[in-house]
């Protein structure tokens, strides 16, 4: 059986989803939707797709799709996913799953009720490099697991948390075997974030217009406690990208370190290993690249060495064919987003926020409401 796939939102990230569906076996890219005719036609022409829509409800009504990739900005992920579920279509949502947990819960409930899958696209965990790093850790090749560190790409932290932060939380969830609690401190313009610093993501980040809802702070230090006893540290602060996007996990064990970083010349990720538990400048030459068999990077017709969404699209497609949940399906789809709101909850309460969060209301919107309520009374 060949699955029929559709995409809603034909902007930047849809390129990766479209080429994934076009390159994977057992699935075909059947329909596309965008309110912007230029974006729609450009993507559809690229893949010779004739079913083109400006209204996703109409697309779900007319096309018998098995799966849809939701590639709009985050506030639309919920409405599109719920509409897809009502037509029996499995949903692969781009990250962040939503702009608040209440909507994310509704998305999951709608998909569960309709008997379709809901998954979120955090592609990094599926790549051969992340899988290889995880295999090294599980085999004890860096000794006892100690910590994992990630640094943002340099956009203001409240925005970055929804863009790269959710990816980092997902990677930490993988390497820490689960996340127990989060403790965070947030500042804005040098002072501790308060209710007066809560704003829209577009107000906070002038250089990237993607809509990530209500956010706060330009700088965050986030501590994460893992189920395996290890710790995660995430640092998000404004910085210039002088050497490209040098992001990726740095993992420390009692007998060695692992690092995944893009090669600054090719932008292809590489896995590196160092046989010491901490770094000294004198030991740095002992970092060595871990060889990865190129055959492991082969999917469909191509070699996929770069961070491509084909890995998460493939998991969704095979999960449908095999009648199982995708790896980031069901309640796992919500984890990285819960971490975002745990960060705000922790900052404003000054305590650790334990996962899963009991409070489902948006912690920032909630505080804004309470403040304006107090002013009125
Ligand atoms: N997984 C990743 O690594 C990764 C990378 C980049 C972006 N993303 C995520 O993907 C999402 C989209 O980001 P982007 O950079 O592609 O944004 P974009 O602005 O390039 O594209 C969004 C598209 O959605 C369309 N759109 C808006 N309203 C619509 C509607 N009602 N129906 C149909 N289409 C509509 C817009 O016209 C636009 O073409 C964001 O949530 C972002 O965080 C994920």
Q: Are 271 and 133 found together in one domain? A: yes
Residue 357 counted as domain residue: no
Sequence-distant (6+) residues with CB within 8 A of 19 are 47, 308, 310
What's the gap in Å between 377 CA and the centre of ligand 1? 41
Residues with CB under 6 A from ligand 1: 8-14, 33-36, 39, 56, 71-74, 76, 94-95, 121, 123, 163, 210, 309
**Which atom in ligand 1 lies closest to the alpha carbon of residue 40?**
39
Segment 176-196 shows an average pLDDT of: 98
pLDDT digits (tens, 9 = 90+) for 296-336: 888 777 777 766 899 999 999 999 999 999 999 999 999 99
Does 219 have pLDDT greater than 50? yes
The CATH code of the domain that includes 50 is 3.40.50.720
Model pLDDT, residue 267: 79
With cut-offs at 50, 70 and 90, classify the pLDDT of residue 281: confident
Residue 114 counted as domain residue: yes
Q: Are 190 and 294 found together in one domain? A: yes
Pairwise CA distance, residues 81 & 84, whole Å: 5
Model pLDDT, residue 372: 78
- Domain assignment of residue 216, given as a range: 125-303
Residue 209 counted as domain residue: yes
Q: Are 155 and 114 found together in one domain? A: no
Asked if 165 contacts 234 with a C-beta cutoff of 8 angstroms, the reply is yes
Asked if 4 contacts 64 with a C-beta cutoff of 8 angstroms, the reply is yes
**Which atom in ligand 1 lies closest to the alpha carbon of residue 121?**
1
Model pLDDT, residue 247: 84
pLDDT digits (tens, 9 = 90+) for 96-107: 999 999 999 999
Residue 350 counted as domain residue: no
Q: Which of 142, 146, 123, 121 is nearest to 133 (CA)?
A: 142
Q: Are 142 and 90 found together in one domain? A: no
Q: Are 46 and 138 found together in one domain? A: no
Q: Which of 12, 121, 152 to mutate to test the pocket of ligand 1 (most atoms within 8 A of CB)?
A: 12
Q: Are 132 and 115 found together in one domain? A: no
pLDDT digits (tens, 9 = 90+) for 114-157: 999 999 999 999 999 999 999 999 999 999 999 999 999 999 99
Domain count, the chain: 2
Does 38 have pLDDT greater than 50? yes
Q: Are 168 and 244 found together in one domain? A: yes
Residue 173 counted as domain residue: yes
What's the gap in Å between 217 CA and the centre of ligand 1? 23
What's the gap in Å between 268 CA and the centre of ligand 1? 23
pLDDT digits (tens, 9 = 90+) for 48-88: 999 999 999 999 999 999 999 999 999 999 999 999 999 99
Q: Are 135 and 261 found together in one domain? A: yes
Complete DSSP assignment for 129-189: HHHHHHHHHHTTTTSSEEEEEEE--SS-HHHHIIIIIHHHHHHHHHHTTSEEEEEEEEEET
Q: Are 152 and 206 found together in one domain? A: yes
Q: Are 135 and 244 found together in one domain? A: yes
Asked if 168 contacts 340 with a C-beta cutoff of 8 angstroms, the reply is no
pLDDT digits (tens, 9 = 90+) for 295-307: 888 877 777 776 6
Tell the residue nearest (CA) to atom 25 of ligand 1: 9
Q: Are 218 and 272 found together in one domain? A: yes
What's the gap in Å between 211 CA and the centre of ligand 1? 9
Task: Kindly report the average pLDDT of the chain as a whole number.
Answer: 94
Q: Are 65 and 136 found together in one domain? A: no
319: exposed, middle or buried (C-beta count within 10 Å: 0-12, 13-18, 19+)? Answer: buried
The CATH code of the domain that includes 268 is 3.30.360.10
What's the gap in Å between 16 CA and the centre of ligand 1? 12
Residue 230 counted as domain residue: yes
What's the gap in Å between 372 CA and the centre of ligand 1? 32
Model pLDDT, residue 376: 45
Residue 348 counted as domain residue: no
Residue 31 counted as domain residue: yes
Q: Coil, helix or strand for 277?
A: coil
Pairwise CA distance, residues 357 & 172, whole Å: 17
Q: What does pTM read for this prediction? A: 0.96
The single-letter DSSP state of residue 244 is B
Model pLDDT, residue 377: 41
């Amino acid at each position: 059986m060949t699955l029929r796939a559709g995409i809603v939102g034909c902007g930047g990230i849809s390129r990766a989803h479209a080429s994934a569906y076009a390159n994977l076996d057992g699935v075909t890219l059947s329909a596309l939707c965008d309110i912007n005719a230029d974006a729609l036609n450009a993507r559809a022409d690229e893949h010779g797709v004739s079913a083109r829509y400006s209204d996703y409800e109409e697309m779900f009504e007319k096309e018998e799709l098995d799966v849809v990739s939701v590639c709009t900005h985050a506030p639309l992920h919920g409405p599109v996913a719920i509409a897809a579920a009502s037509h029996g279509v499995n949903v692969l949502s781009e990250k962040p799953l939503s702009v608040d947990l209440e909507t994310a819960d509704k998305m999951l409930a709608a998909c569960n009720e309709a008997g379709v899958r809901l998954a979120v696209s955090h592609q990094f965990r599926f790549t051969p490099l992340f899988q290889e790093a995880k295999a090294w850790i599980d085999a004890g090749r860096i000794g006892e697991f100690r910590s994992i560190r990630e640094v943002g790409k340099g956009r203001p932290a409240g925005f970055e948390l929804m863009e790269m932060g959710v990816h980092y939380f997902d990677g930490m969830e993988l390497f820490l075997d689960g996340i127990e609690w989060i403790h965070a401190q947030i500042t804005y313009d040098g002072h501790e974030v308060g209710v007066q610093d809560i704003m829209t993501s577009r107000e906070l980040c002038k250089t990237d217009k993607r809509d990530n809802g209500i956010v706060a702070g330009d700088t965050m230090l986030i501590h994460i406690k893992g189920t395996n006893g290890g710790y995660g540290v995430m640092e998000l602060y404004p910085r210039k990208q002088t050497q490209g996007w040098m992001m990726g996990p740095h993992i420390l064990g009692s007998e060695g370190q692992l690092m995944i970083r893009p090669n600054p010349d090719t932008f292809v990720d590489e896995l590196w290993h160092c046989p010491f538990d901490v770094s000294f400048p004198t030991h740095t030459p002992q970092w060595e690249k871990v060889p990865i068999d190129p055959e492991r990077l082969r999917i469909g017709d191509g070699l996929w060495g770069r961070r491509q969404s084909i890995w998460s699209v493939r998991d969704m497609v095979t999960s449908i064919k095999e009648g199982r949940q995708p790896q980031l399906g069901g309640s796992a789809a919500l984890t990285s987003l819960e971490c975002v709101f745990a960060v705000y909850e922790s900052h404003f309460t000054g305590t650790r926020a334990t996962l899963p969060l009991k409070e489902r209301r948006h912690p920032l919107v909630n505080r804004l409401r309470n403040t304006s309520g107090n002013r009125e009374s």
